[in-house]
Amino acid sequence: MEGLDYWRLCDELSVIQAALLIAGEDPAKYQEWVDGWKQDDRPTGYDAARAALTHAVLSGRLPATKVDHEAYQQWDGINDERVGCTPDEPDWGKTTIKVDDIRSWLADRGFIRGFFFPNSTDAPDYLDSNNSSYAPKLVAAIHAWQAVNSDPKYQNNGRHVKQNLESWLTAHAAEFDLVKSDGEINVEAIKNQIAKVANWQDKGGAPKTPG
Task: Return the bridge partners of 96, or none.
Answer: 14, 65
- pLDDT by residue for the chain (211 residues), tens only, comes to 577 889 999 999 999 999 999 999 999 999 999 999 998 999 999 999 999 999 999 999 999 999 988 766 556 556 665 555 667 789 999 999 999 999 989 887 777 778 998 866 666 777 777 777 888 899 999 989 988 888 778 888 889 999 999 999 999 998 888 999 999 999 999 999 999 999 998 776 555 555 5
Distance separating alpha carbons of residues 41 and 25, to the nearest angstrom: 13
pTM, to two decimals: 0.56
